[in-house]
Chains A and B, each alone.
Chain A
Amino acid sequence: MPLTALRTVSKPQNGVGAFILQCKRLDFHYCDWAGSSRGMNSFLKGTLPAFAKANPQIEITVSPRPTKHPVIRGHYINGREKAICVRKMDPNQILQKAELLRDASGEKLRREVRRPVKSLNESVRGIWSPFHAPIEEKRWKI
Chain B
Amino acid sequence: MRRLPRFQQSIDLLLESTGYPHAPSTICRTCRLRAASQARRAAFSTSAPRNEGSLANRLKNRLFKKKDAPGTGNLAYGVTQPQAPEVEVEDSVPGEEAPREYANQYEPASKWDNLEWVGGKKSKKDRTDTREEIQWFMPRTKATKPNDIAAAVRRALVEVLALQEAGIGFEALRLPTVSIDDLAADVQYQVSGTGQDVRLRYPNDEVKSEILESVVLSVPQAAEVDDAASFLQFQRASAVVHEPAVASRKTLLWKEVPLDPANKFAIIKRVMQLTGIRLADPKIQRCDTAGKLFHELLQRPQPTKLADALKIDNELTSLNNVTFSSRRVGPIDKERQVGRWKVIERELESRGLPVTMS
Q: 0/1 per residue, A22-61, Cβ < 8 Å to B?
A: 0000000010100000000100110011001101111111
Residues of A within 8 A of B329 (CB): 61, 63
Nearest neighbor of B330 in chain A, beta-carbon distance:
A63
CB distance from A89 to the nearest CB of B (A): 16
Contact: B306 with A49, CB < 8 Å? no
Contact: B319 with A44, CB < 8 Å? no
Among the 9-residue stretches B60-68, B140-148, B283-291, B310-318, the one with 4 or more Cβ atoms under 8 Å from chain A is B310-318
Residues of B within 8 A of A58 (CB): 321
Contact: A49 with B323, CB < 8 Å? no
A62 within 8 A of B: yes
Nearest neighbor of A45 in chain B, beta-carbon distance:
B309
Interface residues of B (CB under 8 A from A): 304-307, 309-310, 313, 315-316, 319-329
Contact: B321 with A45, CB < 8 Å? no
Q: 0/1 per residue, A53-76, Cβ < 8 Å to B?
A: 101111111111110000000000
Contact of B325 among A41, A45, A61 (CB under 8 A): A61
Contact: B322 with A45, CB < 8 Å? no
Residues of A within 8 A of B324 (CB): 61-63
Given contacts A45-B310, A45-B313, contact A63 B328 (CB under 8 A): yes
Contact: B321 with A49, CB < 8 Å? no
CA A62 to CA B305, docked complex, whole Å: 13
CA A63 to CA B325, docked complex, whole Å: 5
Q: List 16 A-B contacts (CB under 8 A).
A: A30-B306, A32-B305, A32-B306, A45-B309, A52-B321, A53-B319, A56-B320, A56-B321, A57-B321, A59-B321, A60-B323, A61-B329, A63-B327, A63-B328, A64-B326, A65-B328
Contact: A52 with B322, CB < 8 Å? yes
The 8 A-B pairs of least Cβ separation, nearest first, read A63-B325, A49-B315, A63-B329, A60-B322, A61-B323, A49-B316, A52-B319, A62-B324
CB distance from A86 to the nearest CB of B (A): 15
Contact: A32 with B321, CB < 8 Å? no
Nearest neighbor of B306 in chain A, beta-carbon distance:
A41
CA A56 to CA B321, docked complex, whole Å: 6
CA A45 to CA B305, docked complex, whole Å: 12
CB distance from B1 to the nearest CB of A (A): 31
Contact: B306 with A45, CB < 8 Å? yes
CA A19 to CA B327, docked complex, whole Å: 35
Contact: A44 with B306, CB < 8 Å? yes
Residues of A within 8 A of B310 (CB): 44-45, 62
CA A44 to CA B305, docked complex, whole Å: 12
Residues of B within 8 A of A30 (CB): 306
Nearest neighbor of B325 in chain A, beta-carbon distance:
A63
Contact: B313 with A49, CB < 8 Å? yes
Residues of B within 8 A of A62 (CB): 310, 322-325
CB distance from B281 to the nearest CB of A (A): 28
CB distance from A17 to the nearest CB of B (A): 23
CA A53 to CA B315, docked complex, whole Å: 10
CB distance from A112 to the nearest CB of B (A): 32
Contact: A64 with B321, CB < 8 Å? no
Residues of A within 8 A of B315 (CB): 49
CA A30 to CA B328, docked complex, whole Å: 10
Nearest neighbor of B314 in chain A, beta-carbon distance:
A49
Residues of B within 8 A of A57 (CB): 321
Given contacts A45-B313, A49-B313, contact A64 B319 (CB under 8 A): no
Residues of A within 8 A of B327 (CB): 63-64
Given contacts A52-B319, A52-B322, A59-B321, contact A64 B313 (CB under 8 A): no
CA A65 to CA B327, docked complex, whole Å: 8
Nearest neighbor of A53 in chain B, beta-carbon distance:
B319
Residues of A within 8 A of B307 (CB): 64
